[in-house]
């Protein structure tokens, strides 16, 4: 049923646009234009497809980065680029749409198309995505009677409106595969199963409605719902998670393919937590298992490139860098060995395409925790996946041949005879990223400051006799909300206990203009308290409490009812929650937009003082060095005033095209702007259990910079020291490879051999190799270590072992020095003699790129 339904949709649609003959559909619909599916896979323009997909979110990088990110994904064996659509970015005010710059989704999809890849559009429009408010625009909060994500008319109206807007936009640009465009799949809703029960009887009808609404938009390509086992036909239910090869219960119909929309390459990171490092080996194992054990024919990496949560776009407690541990790091540099190992996996799996897409599957045991999964076509084309789920390395006998199978790994045999890839054997290079300071702002002369005024009750316009809810009051125009009140004391100055309970994320207290303590919550705990001793004076005391959100929540049911802000305020046990309160939304520096050139002069900046006060704005001064103010005369007696040339200089863009980051390691908590563009919130003072900041470097995209005269503005909530801020280059400085003689030849040489119809692994000319390459424009400048023999250790720490060829260094230097990339076959022949016969040898090379 599912198939014929989706098929009819496609026929009507393609008939409208292409006058495609209707009998295509009647005959099965698989060879028409557009996308259908069956139990095996997606069918794109009539062809069954085995697809690797990678998530890249367009607003988390800049348009000038898109072409290279997409190109690197393509080179890594990715067929599909998947992105969410960010509603609150596109419709910040109801009916006001924005689609320029980083919001230019059409341009992003067109770039994907230009590079010959497919696109998957996850419209949501609720997306979670560690994005503020899960992508919902905050104005929805004030729509009367609204209940998000349930069978609720106001929500459905707005959801349909936006979904239709996006679909029509894509259609009018001809971007659906049914129109010859790249979009082959889209998504409606997002992980709804997690909240469905909370909505009771309002849940299931909403799922039905969402599916029907989406399908009625007639895109000519299928819709999916992730983590939604009851996704209504013809919508495909898909798996999200880290281990879909083990956990996925399968499509909910035999006519739907097995799709993994989120195979997490790492995990999001919140302030106070360590990064989640997921190894290349582990990801490769679960991808191979999903394909073999769960008939998977579509795997998406979430994230392939995570990028940056610029400005205030991160959701509650999320750090500004997003999935820096992905195959492409935050700056778009390849993270090795993850990128390269997955590239080899993709190539190995693609060698199995025909048996996987058209063959019959068998599986049998090869011993305890050992399994062979074999796909065979009628014409005997065969591919095998040998799985070791156990905890020890084992030799297995498969079709009369013995294979070495490392613990917790899968070997891929695209011809059922020769191993092309093992998920645990990493033969690609590993690289090291370093930060190199290119500019310091280490003179207090270079900075100016503006101390944010602390408002008193009299300074506020918004009043209430109670504690207002934070988000509903700021309407997300700012992270900050001032709560102020007055206390009359009719006795001499005295110390008093002060207690505040908050459901926001952080709090800074001021009494009579003086700082009186801070407190903050964590991602996991809702709510926190500030308990302190304050001094109250005889007479009227002004209490000003700054409530801070570090992003809006992004998940869970009934998001519209979520509360934040102060809940109770007490002094010496007396409750002050219900008495006159004065409110001020945002900071005055924000209101004056002092991070913009145009707003900078709205406040009085002053020279850097010697004591830092919480809540201070800093900016890098124009450099007007008195030396340069002198007239200078050249030999030809031409005199000029130097200050005219550099008087406007604030800081120059570092030369070259290496990515740039601000090292904010000396700061506490706040936000930063470069040329008026928010590079994100920082929170260096919130340390991880290991005592480190969760994030010290903050991405400054090259396109935010001008060649000269760049403006840097920092808002510091605590007492960080701006004089230690530096601008650093992000560089891959080292590359290292370690491959043993017993390694399988690289997939690339396997493929080369296959093309030549040479399918014997016994061909001794195909050798494992160490392959190294430096990122663009860099060359191998120094061999730090080279040993062919039995070097000990790994790329992190190594030493020469019992066996070592004296020719190691000269051979490697000859092959690599001065080159962008090099390849060294691992054979005694290549090293002019066997340093230790009958011993399995390894080549370990560590090299420097400059
Ligand atoms: C969708 O929103 C636009 C802009 O606010 C409005 O003009 C249009 O009437 C809306 N459509 C629906 C169906 O609500
Ligand atoms: C995979 O496909 C086979 C038929 O080739 C079928 O028997 C099996 O149930 C499918 N497994 C899953 C997890 O869908
Ligand atoms: C074959 O695959 C099925 C489904 O994944 C599994 O339940 C079964 O244990 C496997 N059989 C063997 C012998 O490994
Ligand atoms: C394995 O060897 C046995 C006995 O030599 C033979 O009968 C069988 O056909 C062989 N199987 C394969 C797959 O080569
Ligand atoms: C409290 O605020 C009022 C109004 O801004 C001000 O006149 C007064 O001096 C303040 N009191 C103290 C103790 O700072
Ligand atoms: C700050 O500077 C002032 C004036 O120069 C000086 O009196 C004061 O002692 C200094 N404070 C500190 C903490 O260095
Ligand atoms: C081994 O492979 C090379 C190319 O990789 C090919 O030229 C040669 O003929 C092959 N030799 C055998 C014995 O298959
Ligand atoms: C659905 C799923 O697999 N969720 C898991 C994803 O990975 C994290 C971290 O390992 C687990 O906590 C989740 O349960």
Which residues are near ligand 5 (CB < 6 Å)? 456, 458, 512-513, 537, 540-542
Position 752 scores a pLDDT of: 56
Q: Is the pLDDT of residue 738 over 80?
A: yes
Instruction: List the alpha helices (DSSP H) in 131-177.
Output: 153-172
- The alpha carbon torsion through 536, 542, 546, 547 (nearest 10 deg) reads 80
Q: For residues 328 and 307, give the distance between their C-alpha atoms in angstroms, rounded to a whole number.
A: 9
Domain locations in the chain?
A: 3-350, 435-450+591-622+649-730, 454-586, 767-849
- The atom of ligand 5 lying closest to the CA of 542 is 1
What percent of the chain is modeled with pLDDT above 70? Answer: 90
Output the residue whose Cα is nearest ligand 3's atom 1.
Answer: 363
Asked if the model's pLDDT at residue 410 lies above 90, the reply is: yes
In the predicted model, is pLDDT for residue 3 greater than 90?
A: no
- pLDDT score recorded for residue 750: 59
pLDDT value at residue 29: 35
Q: Which atom of ligand 4 is nearest to the CA of 400?
A: 1
Q: Which atom of ligand 8 is nearest to the CA of 243?
A: 3
* Per-residue model confidence as pLDDT tens digits over 595-611: 998 999 999 999 998 77
Structure tokens at 224: 């999916």
- Report the alpha-carbon distance of residue 607 to residue 785 in Å, rounded: 50
**Neighbour-count burial of 725, counting CB atoms closer than 10 A to its CB (0-12 exposed, 13-18 middle, 19+ buried):** buried
Ligand nearest to the CA of 291: 2
| Average of per-residue pLDDT across 773-793 | 94
Cis peptide before 827 (omega within 30 of 0): no
Ligand in nearest proximity to the CA of 613: 6
- E strand or H helix at 599: helix 597-600
Topology annotation, domain 454-586 = Jelly Rolls (2.60.120)
Q: Which CATH architecture has domain 3-350?
A: Alpha-Beta Barrel (3.20)
758 C-alpha vs ligand 7 centroid, how far in Å? 7
Q: Best substitution site from 400, 403, 415 to test ligand 4's pocket, by max atoms within 8 Å of Cβ?
A: 400
Please state the rounded mean pLDDT for residues 676-681.
97
Task: Report which secondary-structure segment, H or E, holds 106.
Answer: helix 105-114
Digit-coded pLDDT (tens) for 9-66: 222 233 333 333 333 222 233 345 889 999 999 999 999 999 999 999 999 999 999 9
Q: CB neighbours of 725 closer than 8 A, spacing ≥ 6?
A: 441, 662, 663, 664, 666, 667, 712, 714
| Bridge partner list, 807 | none
Poorest-confidence range of 126-140, 373-387, 601-615? 601-615
Predicted local distance difference test score (pLDDT) of residue 754: 54
Please state, rounded to an integer, the average pLDDT across all residues of the chain.
Answer: 90
A 10 A CB-CB count for 466 gives: 10
Cα(397) to ligand 4 centroid in Å equals: 11
Tell me the ligand closest to 226's alpha carbon: 8
Q: C-alpha dihedral over 318, 324, 326, 330, to 10 degrees?
A: 120
pLDDT mean over 782-787: 98
Q: Given this structure, which CATH class describes domain 435-450+591-622+649-730?
A: mainly beta
Residue nearest to atom 4 of ligand 5 (CA): 458
Q: What is the pLDDT of residues 246-261, one digit of tens each?
A: 888 889 999 999 998 8
In angstroms, what is the span from residue 469 Cα to ligand 1's centroid?
29
pLDDT band at 545 (very low <50, low <70, confident <90, very high): very high
Lowest mean pLDDT among 204-213, 304-313, 763-772: 763-772
| Domain covering 767-849 assigned CATH 3.20.20.70 in the classification | no
Q: Is the pLDDT of residue 444 over 90?
A: no
pLDDT higher than 80, residue 629: no
Does the structure show a pLDDT above 90 at 721?
Answer: yes
Q: Is the CB of 247 under 6 A from ligand 4?
A: no
Report whether residue 96 contacts ligand 1, using a CB cutoff of 6 Å.
Answer: no
CB 611 less than 6 A from any atom of ligand 6: yes
CA 30 – CA 446 distance, rounded (Å): 67
**Residue ID of nearest Cα to ligand 5 atom 14:** 512
- pLDDT tens digits along 452-482: 999 999 999 999 999 999 999 999 999 999 9
Q: Residue 262's pLDDT is what?
A: 77
Find the mean pLDDT for residues 324-334: 97
Distance 191 CA to ligand 8 centre (A): 13
Whether the pLDDT of residue 756 is over 60: the answer is no
Of all protein residues, the one whose alpha carbon is nearest to atom 11 of ligand 7 is: 763
Instruction: Using the mean position of ligand 4's atoms as its centre, give its distance from the Cα of residue 782 in Å.
Output: 52
**742 CB near ligand 1 (under 6 Å):** no
Which residues have a catalytic role annotated? Answer: 191, 262
How many Cα neighbours within 13 Å face the side chain of 7? 21
The pLDDT assigned to 22 comes to: 30
**Tokens in use for 477?**
């125009």
CB under 6 Å to ligand 8: residues? 241-243, 247, 267
The reply to whether ligand 2 has any atom less than 6 angstroms from the CB of 362 is no
Comparing 25 with 579, the larger pLDDT belongs to 579
Ligand 3 near 363 CB (within 6 A): yes
- pLDDT value at residue 650: 76
pLDDT computed for residue 748 by the predictor? 57
CA R_g for the chain:
30
Mean pLDDT of 692-720: 95
Tell me what the mean pLDDT of segment 286-309 comes to: 96
**Position of tokens 């869970």?**
556
Q: Is 168 in the pocket of ligand 1 (CB under 6 A)?
A: no
Q: Is the CB of 400 under 6 A from ligand 4?
A: yes
pLDDT reported for residue 240? 84
Fold match between domain 454-586 and domain 767-849: yes
Distance CA 587, CA 589 (A): 5
Residues with Cβ within 8 Å of residue 574, at least 6 apart in sequence: none
CA–centroid distance, 820 to ligand 5, in Å, is 67
Q: What is the pLDDT of residues 815-843, one digit of tens each?
A: 999 999 999 999 999 999 999 999 999 99
**Which residue puts its alpha carbon closest to atom 10 of ligand 6?**
610
Residue nearest to ligand 8 atom 14, measured at CA: 241
CB of 93 closer than 6 angstroms to any ligand 1 atom: no
Compute the average pLDDT of residues 304-326.
97
The arithmetic mean of pLDDT across residues 187-207, rounded, is 94
């Amino acid at each position: 049923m599912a198939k014929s339904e989706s098929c009819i949709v496609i026929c009507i649609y393609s008939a409208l646009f292409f006058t495609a003959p209707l009998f295509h559909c009647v005959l099965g619909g698989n060879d028409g234009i557009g996308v259908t599916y069956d139990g095996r896979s997606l069918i794109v323009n009539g062809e069954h497809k085995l697809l690797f997909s990678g998530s890249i979110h367009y607003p988390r990088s800049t348009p000038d980065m898109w072409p290279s990110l997409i190109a690197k994904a393509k080179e890594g064996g990715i067929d599909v680029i998947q992105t969410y659509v960010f509603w609150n970015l596109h419709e910040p005010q109801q009916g006001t749409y924005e689609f320029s710059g980083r919001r230019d989704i059409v341009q992003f999809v067109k770039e994907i198309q230009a590079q010959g890849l497919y696109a998957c559009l996850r419209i949501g429009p609720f997306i979670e995505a560690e994005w503020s408010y899960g992508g919902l625009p905050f104005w929805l909060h004030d729509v009367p009677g609204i209940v998000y994500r349930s069978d609720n008319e106001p929500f459905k109206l707005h959801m349909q409106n936006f979904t239709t807007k996006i679909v029509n936009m894509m259609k009018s640009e001809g971007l659906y595969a049914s129109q010859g465009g790249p979009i082959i799949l889209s998504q409606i809703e997002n992980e709804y199963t997690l909240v469905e029960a909370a909505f009771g009887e309002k849940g299931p009808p909403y799922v039905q409605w969402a599916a029907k609404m989406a399908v009625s938009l007639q895109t000519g390509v299928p819709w999916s719902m992730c983590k939604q086992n009851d996704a209504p036909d013809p919508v495909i239910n898909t798996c999200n998670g880290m281990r879909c090869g083990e956990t996925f219960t399968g499509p909910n119909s035999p006519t739907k393919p097995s799709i993994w929309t989120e195979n997490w390459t790492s995990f999001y990171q919140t302030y106070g937590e360590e990064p989640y490092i997921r190894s290349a080996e582990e990801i490769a194992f679960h991808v191979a298992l999903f394909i073999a054990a769960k008939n998977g024919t579509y795997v998406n990496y979430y994230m392939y490139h995570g990028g940056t949560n610029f400005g205030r776009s991160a959701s509650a407690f999320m750090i500004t860098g997003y999935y820096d541990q992905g195959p492409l790091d935050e700056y778009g540099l390849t993270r090795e060995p993850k990128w390269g190992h997955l590239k080899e996996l993709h190539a190995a799996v693609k060698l199995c395409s025909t048996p996987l897409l058209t063959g019959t599957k068998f599986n049998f045991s090869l011993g305890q925790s050992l399994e062979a999964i074999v796909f065979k076509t009628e014409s005997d084309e065969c591919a095998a996946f040998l799985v070791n789920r156990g905890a020890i390395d084992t030799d297995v006998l498969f079709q009369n041949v013995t294979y070495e199978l490392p613990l917790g790994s899968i070997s891929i045999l695209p011809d059922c005879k020769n191993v092309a890839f093992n998920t645990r054997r990493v033969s690609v290079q590993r690289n090291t990223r370093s930060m190199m300071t290119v500019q310091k702002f280490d003179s207090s002369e270079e900075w100016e400051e503006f101390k944010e005024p602390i408002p008193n009750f009299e300074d506020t316009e918004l009043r209430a006799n109670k504690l207002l809810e934070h988000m509903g009051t700021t309407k997300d125009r700012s992270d900050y909300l001032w709560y102020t009140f007055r206390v009359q004391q009719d006795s001499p100055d005295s110390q008093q206990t002060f207690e505040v309970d908050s459901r926001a994320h952080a709090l800074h207290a001021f009494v009579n203009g003086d700082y009186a303590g801070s407190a903050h919550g964590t991602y996991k705990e809702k709510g926190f308290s500030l308990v302190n001793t304050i001094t109250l004076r005889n007479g009227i005391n002004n209490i000003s409490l700054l409530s801070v959100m570090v992003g809006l929540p992004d998940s869970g049911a009934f998001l519209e009812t979520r509360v934040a802000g102060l809940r109770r305020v007490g002094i010496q046990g007396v409750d002050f929650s219900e008495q006159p309160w004065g409110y001020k939304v945002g900071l005055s520096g924000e209101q004056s937009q002092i991070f913009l050139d145009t707003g900078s002069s709205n406040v009085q900046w002053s020279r850097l003082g010697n004591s830092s006060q919480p809540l201070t704005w800093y900016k890098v001064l124009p450099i007007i060095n008195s030396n340069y103010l002198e007239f200078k005369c050249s030999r030809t007696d031409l005199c000029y005033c130097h200050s005219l040339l550099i008087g406007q200089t604030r800081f120059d863009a570092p030369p070259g095209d290496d990515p740039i980051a601000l090292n904010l390691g000396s700061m506490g908590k706040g936000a930063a702007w470069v040329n008026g563009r928010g590079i994100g919130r920082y929170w260096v003072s919130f340390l991880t259990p290991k005592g480190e900041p969760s994030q010290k470097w903050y991405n400054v995209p090259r396109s935010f910079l001008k060649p000269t005269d760049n403006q840097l503005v920092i808002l510091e909530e605590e007492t960080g020291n701006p004089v230690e801020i530096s601008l650093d280059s992000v560089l891959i400085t080292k590359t290292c490879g370690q491959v043993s003689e017993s390694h399988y030849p690289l997939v690339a040489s396997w493929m080369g051999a296959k093309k030549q119809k040479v399918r014997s692994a016994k061909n001794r000319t195909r050798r494992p190799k160490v392959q190294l390459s430096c990122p663009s424009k860099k060359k191998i400048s120094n061999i730090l270590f080279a040993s062919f023999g039995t070097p000990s250790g790994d790329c992190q720490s190594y030493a020469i072992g019992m066996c070592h060829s004296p020719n190691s260094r000269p051979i490697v230097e000859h092959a690599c020095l001065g080159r962008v990339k090099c390849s060294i076959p691992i054979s005694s022949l290549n090293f002019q003699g066997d340093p230790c016969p009958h011993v399995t040898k390894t080549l370990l090379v560590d090299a420097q790129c400059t």
